[in-house]
Every structure is written in C-alpha cells, then in structure tokens.
Structure 1
Amino acid sequence: MIRTVTTTPYGDQKPGTSGLRKKVPVFQQKNYAENFIQSIFDSLEGFQGETLVIGGDGRFYNREVIQIAIKMAAANGFGRVLVGRGGILSTPAASNVIRKYKAFGGIVLSASHNPGGPTEDFGIKYNIGNGGPAPEKITDAIFARSKVIDSYKISDVADINLDAEGTQDIDGMTITVIDPVADYAELMESLFDFGAIRKMIEGGFRVVFDAMSAVTGPYAKEIIEKRLGAPKGSVMNFIPLPDFGGHHPDPNLVHARALYETMMAPDAPDFGAASDGDGDRNLVIGRGIFITPSDSLAMLAANAHLAPGYAKGLAGIARSMPTSGAADRVAEKLGIGIYETPTGWKFFGNLLDEGMATICGEESAGTGSNHVREKDGLWAVLLWLNILAVRKESALDIVKNHWATYGRNYYSRHDYEEVDSDAANGLIANLRDQLATLPGKSFGALKVATADDFAYNDPVDHSVSKNQGIRILFEGGSRVVFRLSGTGTSGATLRVYIERFEPDASRHDIETQTALADLIAVAEEIASIKTRTGRTEPSVIT
C-alpha cells in the first residue's frame, strides 16, 4: 500500500559538490531523508517503470536510508530497483551498474572520505543515467524543491532482506539484490592485463592494499587476492565497518600513516595503496616514495597505453583546476587535449560522454577514466600494477624517469579544517578584493603575473561555473590557489594549493615543503590565514 505523508521543508538541503552531506543526527530528524529523496524524484521526469540503482558505502545509517529509498522508489513509480547485497556498492561500482544495466539513475549513500558513526557524517547523492553525479541544473532543482516540499510518497511494507541475493516485488516494483562486486570485477578484468599482473606477483612482487575498513575491502579482496593471486593478508582492513573502525577513511599521509611507514621501511613491499570510504579515491606509494595524486594522474596518462583497455591511446586528459599542471605536459607531448575544470567529478561527465577526454583526475586523490563516470580508487591501483608489470621497473624508477622527461611539479595542499564559516568566507572575500591590484606585485623573488577567480566555460553544453577558486599565478609558472571545500559537514575547510614547476633534474630531490617554502610564506602574507582563521598551521598537509 502506498501512503502519502504530509511533511514540512528543511531549509538546509542544498547539495554540495557530491550531494547532500550532514551529520547523522541531522539525517535522523523526522522526514529529513524522506524530504530529500522525494525532492530528487520530484525534480526528475520520465522515470515511470524505469530502473533505479541504490547502494552505499556501508557507513552508519546506510541500511536504514536504503530501506526508505527502496520504499519511496516503489511509491513513486519506478519499475525496478537494483541494490547491492548488504546495502553495499562502492561509488564507482554504482556508476558501473547504472551504465551496464541502462538504469535511469541511482541513489548513492555516502559521505566519501568523511568519518562514519552515530554522530559522524552521512550523505545522499543522485547519479544520472550516464552513471555520473547529477549536474548543477538538477541539484539546483532538487534544492529548490526541498524548500517547498509538503508531502512524500512511501510504500507501507516490511523492510527488504538486503543480505540475500534474489528478486522480490513490492507495490508493482521489482527489487533485485545483486552481488556488489561481480560486475565491477568483470569490468576491471576487461581493462587490465590480469595475466601480466599475476605473473609479476608470482615472481615475488609484493603489494599491500589498505581498504581502511571501508567499502573497497570486498572489491580488493576479490580482485587483488583471489583473481591476481596476491597472498592472503595483502588486503588489510577489508571488512566494511559502520564507523570505519573509528578511523578517518581518507587515504592521505595522515590517516593512512601506518601504510606510509610500512612503505618507507627497509623491507618495504614493492607497492602500497589505499582507498577511501566509498572507494572513489586512492593513495599510491611505491617502495620509498609517495606519489602525489597530481603526479599519479600524469604518470597514469603517460603510460595508460600499456593496459589493454587503453592500448589505442587517449582522446584527452581532464584535470580539476587545483590539480598540478603535470598532466598538461603529458597531453602536450601526446598531442591530445587538456581540459581544466572546477573541482567536482560532475564537470568531467560532459567531456567523457563526448569522447573528448579518456582519463581524468583531481588532486584530492581522485583518478578515473571513461570506464565509469566517477573517480575510481581501485581502478587507479590496478592501472599502476599493470604499468609496473609491463615496464618491469620499480615505482620509484618510473617516477624519476617521468620527472626527468617532463620536469617536476613540486606540489602540496594545506587544509585548514572546520574553520569558522564567517572567517573562511571573509578570507576569500578579502582575496577577491585584492585580485585587481595583485598583478605586477613582487614578494621577494616572486612576481605576480595574473590573479583571478577561476570560471569554467563548459565546451560541451556551454554552461558557465563562476567563483571556483582564487588563483595567484607567478612569473615562471609557480602558483597559489585558495578554495573552500564543499565536502565537509562542519564549518568550512580552507584548502590552499601551492605549486612550483622545476625543469632541472638536478633539483628534483628537494623535500617538497622546503621547495615550496617561499610560496607558502607568500600565501600567508597575501591571505592573512593566521590572523583571519586563528590557525597557526594546517590541519592536514598532503
């Protein structure tokens, strides 16, 4: 039986760069999740009888909201729901399922790399039929609807058994619980030379993968250990936990410190990697070297032709604006397009759909390709393994050879987390006020060439996205970028990106923060970070 429930709107349901993210107690408010899900359905047309994919990263409150979403999908007229067993679907796996089964769209329950637990983070986002995050015109419509919503529809039935694969019906809608890993593993096997990787591992190559008690555990266990033959125990923390084991599931050098220390030890494995809460980010560490996400994007693009799925070459490379320019030099040498977009994977969707780009990346540990329409942590790890298997060199040698060929982009991101929102917005406003007067100014040996607030003109649909980050570019190619992140749930996260290009191979072994010291000082001088935020140092440096 279908019920129509009267409700009142909440005013805070504006989706960010990847859906609506709030603390769990916020989502537990009466009708909060229901209002947002109904607002999604009310903003869509033509889905009657169509297929909807539902899944999440297994974090706290995942199962409860999946039950709500299934019952609301039935009440609103969807014909079929595909849901991962146990409510599990990594974000890239959900994108693949949407594409493979030609679903109308999908609801992905995740707050990505943010902590999980009863008082931590939760999120809901809608993905469209190409498998990618909804574009701004849809998220704007969802927010507009959420501000005036007065009722929602839901099927009044018992909860679905999410733990047994199979099919059942409610109110005229078919629900199929699927193996969350099988379709994704099959896709990976079609892209990469599993035989070559297996042979490398059989020859003694040691790989370690930290799933961070998050969603990629079952995927990595199946692929890395079972299909590629890595010894049992190579995949660590592989059971997804509602609170990610009490840890922060962000694959960076702070939250995956144990992996970093393992890879820096004298008896380190050959290759180490990690992925985040929902499986769309990656950390890559060779024996004795951390490979920054920006460098990883460039190196994957330069070597992608070594994997069967990319043997024909790349159509183009796309990167988010804060990502370093390392990939630009690869694109130039390959004679292919390079596209600089705002942060947010949704901006890559048009380029991928039009065949203008093949590989995309963000400096925040997100890399992916046209195989799905989300960034994909495990995909990046497998492409690295494919490259290592074919080149028969260490990760360290591949990195050093790449820098010798293309030059090195020294690069770092300084995050100031949970900054007072007014203070953060005031800092950005002050930077905007300086933009007209900064060009031509000198700060020691650094002279400002240009300064702007990045705007993106989409070459496919010609939409314009403004105010995407303050850029200060110096003569010689160095730059500092300031942006407020859209992925947090408390206060504001100020991200400061610092970059210097160094073509001289004799200067490629300087410690990163030392190489960037003068730029870090200038960023502080221009933005007055300490004075405006009260922070004497970043929360996280990557």
Structure 2
Amino acid sequence: MIRTVSSTPYSDQKPGTSGLRKKVPVFQQQNYTENFIQSIFDSLQGFKGETLVIGGDGRYYNREVIQIALRMAAANGFGRVLVGQGGIMSTPAVSHVIRKHKAFGGIILSASHNPGGPNEDFGIKYNASNGGPAPESLTDAIFARSRVIDRYLTADFPDVNLDSIGSLNAGGLMIEVIDPVDDYAELMEHLFDFGAIRDLIAGGFRVTFDAMHAVTGPYAREILVNRLGADPALIRNDVPLEDFGGHHPDPNLVHARELYDTMMAPDAPDFGAASDGDGDRNLIIGRSIFVTPSDSLAMLAANAHLAPGYKAGIAGIARSMPTSGAADRVAAKMEVQLYETPTGWKFFGNLLDAGRVTICGEESAGTGSTHVREKDGLWAVLLWLNILAVRRQSVLEIVEDHWATYGRTYYSRHDYEAVDTDAANTLMARIEERFGALPGTKLGPLTVARADNFSYHDPVDLSVSRNQGIRIHFEGGARIVFRLSGTGTSGATLRVYMEFYEPDPARHNRDTQEALSDLIAAAEELASIRALTGRDAPTVIT
C-alpha cells in the first residue's frame, strides 16, 4: 500500500558539491531523511518504471536509510532498484553500475572521508544517468523543493534482506540485491593488464593497502588478493565497520599514519596505498616516497598509455583550480588541452561526456578517468601498479624521472578544520577587499602580481560558476589559494594551498614545508589566520 505522509520542511537541506551532509542525529529527526529523498524525486522527471541504483559506504545509519529509500522508490513509481549486498557499494562502483545497467540515476549514502558513528557524519547525494553527481541546476531544484515540501510518499512492506544476493518484488518494485564488487572488478580487469601486474607481484613485488575499515575492503580483497596475488597479510583494515573502527577514513598523512610509517621503514613494501570511506579517494606511497595527489595526477596522465584501456593516448586533462600546475606541464608536452575547473567532481562530468578529457583529478586525493563519472581510489592504485609492472622501476625512480623531465612543483595544503564560520567568512572577505591594492605588494621576498576570485566558464554547457576560491599569484609563478570547503559538517574548513615551480633538478630534494616557507609566511601575513581563527597551526598538512 502506498501512503502519503504529511511533513514539515526543514530550512537546512541545501546539497553541497557532494550532496547533503549532516550529523547522524540530524538525519534522524522526524521526516528529515524522508523529506530530502522526496525532494530529490520531486525534482526529477520521467523516471516512472525506470531503474534506480542505491549504495552506501556502510557507515552508521546506512542500512536504515536504504530501507527508507526502497519504500519511497516504490511509492514514487520506480520500476527496479539495484542495491549493493549488505547495503554496500563504493561511490565509483555506483557510478559504473548506473552506466552499465542504463539506470535512470542513483542514490549514494556516504559522507566520504568524514568519520562515522551514532554521533558522526552521514550523507545523501543523487547521481544522474551519466553516473556523475547531480549538476548544480538539479541540486538547486532539490534545495528549493526541500524548503516547501509538505508530504512524502512511502510504501508499506517489510524490511528487505540486504545480505542475500537475489531478487524480490515489494510494493510493485523489483528489488535486486547485487554483488557490489563483481561489475567493478570486471571493469578494472578490462582497463588494466592484470597479467603483467600478477607477474610483478609474483616476482616478489610487495603491495600493501589500507582500506581504513571502509567500503574498499571487499574490493581490495577481490582484486588485489584474489585476482592479482597480493599477500593477504598486507591488506589491512579490510572489514567495513559502521564507525570505521573509530578512525577517520581520510587517506592522508595524518589519518593513514601507520601506512606512512610502514612505507618509510627500512623493510618497507614496494608500494603502499589507501582509500577513503566511500572509495573515491586514494593515497599513494612508494618505499621512502610520498606521492602528492597533484603529482600523482600528473604522473598517471603522463604514463596512462602503458595501460591497455588508455593505449590510444588521452584526449585532455582536467584538474581542479587548487590542484598544482604539475599536470599542466604534462598536457603541454603531450599537446593536449588542460582544463582548470572549480573543486567538485561534477565539474569534470561535462568535459568527460563531451570527450574533451580522459584523465582528471583533484589535490584532495581524487583521480579518475572516462571509465566512470566519479573519482576512483582503486582505479588510481591499479593504474599505478600497471605503470610499475611495465616500467619495472620503483615508485621513487618514476617520481624522480618525472621531475627531471617536467620539473618539480613544490605544493602543500594546510587545513584549518571546524573553524568558526563567521571568522572564516571574515578572513576571506578581508582578503577580497584588498584585491585592488595587492598587485605590487611585497610579502617577505615575494611580490604579488595579481589577485582574483576564480570563476569558471564551462566550455560545454556555457554555465558560469563564480567565487570558487581566492587566488594570489606572485611574480615568478608561485601562488597561494584560499578556499572554504563544503565537505565538513561542523563549522568551516579553511584550506590554504601553496605552490611554486622548480625546474632545477639539483633543487628537487628539498623538504616541502621548508621549500614553501616563504609562501607559508606570506599566507599568514596576508590573511591573519592566527588572529582570526585562534589557531596556531593547521589541523592537517598534506
């Protein structure tokens, strides 16, 4: 039976670049989750009888929301739902399933790299038929609907057994519980030379992977161990847990410190990697060398032709504005177009769909390609392994060779998390107020060349996205970027990005923070971070 349930709107359901993210108790408020899901359905057209994909990263409240979404999908007229076994499916896997099965769209339940648990973070986002995040026009419509919604539709049927693969009909809806790994693993085997990687590993090459008790554990077991022969003892934290084992599932040098220490030890494995809560981010570490996400993007683009899925070369490269310019030099040498977009994977979707780019990435540890419309952590790991299997060099040798060829971009991001929102907005406003006077200003040994707030003009749909981050460019090419992130659920996260290009190989082995010391001092002088935020140091440095 289909029921119409009266409801009252909430004013805070504005989706960000990765959907709606709030603390679990917020989603548990009366009708809060139902209101948002109904707002999604009310903003869509033409889905009657169509297929919907539902998957999540397994965090706390995942199973409960899947049951809610199934009943609402039935009541709203979807014909079929594909849901991952156990309610689990990585974000890139959802994107692939949408595309492979020609689904109308998908609902992803995740707060990505944010903590999980009864009082931690949860998230809901909608992906469109191309497998990518909803465009701004749709998220704006969802928000507008959420502010006036007065009812939601649901169907009455018992909870669906999510743990058994198979099909059933409930409320007129065909529900198929599918293997969350199988389709994705087959895609990876098509893109990469698994035979060459197996030979590399069989020859003694040791691979370690930290799934951080998040969604990629089952994927790593199936692909790295079962299909490629990696030592299962080196696959750590591979059982997904609702609270990620009490840890923060963000693959950076703070939250994946054990992996970093392992890879810096004298007896380190040859290759180390990690992925985040929903499987779309990656951390790459070779023995004694951490590969920054910006460098990783550039190196993957430069070597992608070594993998079967990319042997014809790449059409172009896209990077988010705060990502370093390392990929720009690769694009220039390959004579392909480089696109600079705002942060947020949805901005890559138009370029990928139009065939303008093949490889894209963000400094926040997300890289991907035309194979799906999301960033993809395991894809990056497997492309690295394919490159290593063909070149038969260490990660360190590949990195140093890349720097010798293209030059090194010294780059770092300083995050100030859970900063008072008013203080963060004041900091940004004060910098912008000084734009006119900044050119020619001396900040230590650096001289400001120009300053702006980045705007993006989409070359495909001609839309314009303004105020995407403050850029301070210095004479000689160095730059600082200030940006407020929308991925947290408490306060604001101030991100400060700093970079400069060093062409001289004799100067490629400096400590990154020391090399950037003039820019770090300039950022403080310009923005008064300590005075306005009360923070003496960043929360996280990557």
Q: Flag whether TM exceeds 0.5 (same fold).
A: yes
- 1:392: which partner in 2? 392
Aligned pair count reads: 542
Post-superposition Cα deviations, 1:370-410, rounded to whole Å, max 9, x if no partner, equal 00000000000000000000000000000000000000000
- 2:217: which partner in 1? 217
- 1:529: which partner in 2? 529
- 2:511: which partner in 1? 511
- 2:163: which partner in 1? 163
1:145 and 2:145 aligned: yes
Q: Secondary structure at the match of 2:414?
A: strand
Task: Give me the whole-angstrom Cα distance separating, in 2, the residues matched to 1:169 and 1:234.
Answer: 41
1:124 and 2:111 aligned: no
Task: Give me the whole-angstrom Cα distance separating, in 1, the residues matched to 2:112 and 2:55.
Answer: 13
1:63 and 2:93 aligned: no
Task: Give me the whole-angstrom Cα distance separating, in 2, the residues matched to 1:135 and 1:390.
Answer: 38
CA contact (8 A) 1:225 1:234 kept: no
Q: Secondary structure at the match of 2:477?
A: coil
Matched residue type, 2:28: Q
- 1:178: which partner in 2? 178
Q: Secondary structure at the match of 1:267?
A: coil
Task: Give me the whole-angstrom Cα distance separating, in 2, the residues matched to 1:340 and 1:254.
Answer: 28
Q: Secondary structure at the match of 1:233?
A: helix
- 1:205: which partner in 2? 205
CA contact (8 A) 1:272 1:284 kept: yes
Matched residue type, 2:356: M
- 2:372: which partner in 1? 372
CA deviation after TM superposition for structure 1 residue 445, in Å: 2.1
1:7 and 2:12 aligned: no
CA deviation after TM superposition for structure 1 residue 444, in Å: 2.7
- 2:29: which partner in 1? 29
5+ residue gaps, structure 1, are none
Task: Give me the whole-angstrom Cα distance separating, in 2, the residues matched to 1:107 and 1:233.
Answer: 34
The residue correspondences of 1:241-260 to structure 2 (distance < 5 A) are 241-260=241-260
Post-superposition Cα deviations, 1:193-233, rounded to whole Å, max 9, x if no partner, equal 00000000000000000000000000010000000011222
Q: Percent identity?
A: 76
CA deviation after TM superposition for structure 1 residue 171, in Å: 2.0
Matched residue type, 2:330: V
Task: Give me the whole-angstrom Cα distance separating, in 2, the residues matched to 1:234 and 1:67.
Answer: 35
- 1:498: which partner in 2? 498
Matched residue type, 2:12: D
Structure 1 consecutive aligned stretches of length 4 or more whose deviation exceeds 3 Å: none
CA contact (8 A) 1:133 1:346 kept: yes
Matched residue type, 1:48: K
Task: Give me the whole-angstrom Cα distance separating, in 1, the residues matched to 2:129 and 2:375.
Answer: 16
Post-superposition Cα deviations, 1:68-117, rounded to whole Å, max 9, x if no partner, equal 00110000000100000000000000000000000000000000000000
- 1:82: which partner in 2? 82
- 2:338: which partner in 1? 338
Task: Give me the whole-angstrom Cα distance separating, in 1, the residues matched to 2:136 and 2:444.
Answer: 41
1:454 and 2:454 aligned: yes
Matched residue type, 1:260: Y
CA contact (8 A) 2:443 2:525 kept: no
Matched residue type, 2:219: Y
Q: Secondary structure at the match of 2:223?
A: helix
Q: Secondary structure at the match of 1:418?
A: strand
Task: Give me the whole-angstrom Cα distance separating, in 2, the residues matched to 1:534 and 1:55.
Answer: 40
CA contact (8 A) 1:95 1:373 kept: yes
Post-superposition Cα deviations, 1:459-500, rounded to whole Å, max 9, x if no partner, equal 000000000000001111100000000100000000000101
Matched residue type, 1:214: A
CA deviation after TM superposition for structure 1 residue 449, in Å: 1.1
1:101 and 2:101 aligned: yes
CA deviation after TM superposition for structure 1 residue 340, in Å: 0.2
RMSD of Structure 2 on Structure 1 (CA): 0.5
Task: Give me the whole-angstrom Cα distance separating, in 2, the residues matched to 1:401 and 1:436.
Answer: 41
1:290 and 2:277 aligned: no
Matched residue type, 2:465: S
Matched residue type, 2:295: D
Q: Secondary structure at the match of 1:97?
A: helix
Q: Secondary structure at the match of 2:437?
A: coil
Q: Secondary structure at the match of 2:54?
A: strand
Matched residue type, 1:133: P
Task: Give me the whole-angstrom Cα distance separating, in 2, the residues matched to 1:165 and 1:248.
Answer: 30
Post-superposition Cα deviations, 1:24-57, rounded to whole Å, max 9, x if no partner, equal 0000000000000000000000000000000100
Matched residue type, 2:26: V
Post-superposition Cα deviations, 1:492-516, rounded to whole Å, max 9, x if no partner, equal 0000001011011100000000000
CA deviation after TM superposition for structure 1 residue 234, in Å: 2.3
1:404 and 2:404 aligned: yes
CA deviation after TM superposition for structure 1 residue 443, in Å: 1.7
Matched residue type, 1:325: G
- 1:361: which partner in 2? 361
5+ residue gaps, structure 2, are none
Post-superposition Cα deviations, 1:277-317, rounded to whole Å, max 9, x if no partner, equal 00000000000000000000000000000000000000000
The residue correspondences of 1:40-51 to structure 2 (distance < 5 A) are 40-51=40-51
Matched residue type, 1:94: V
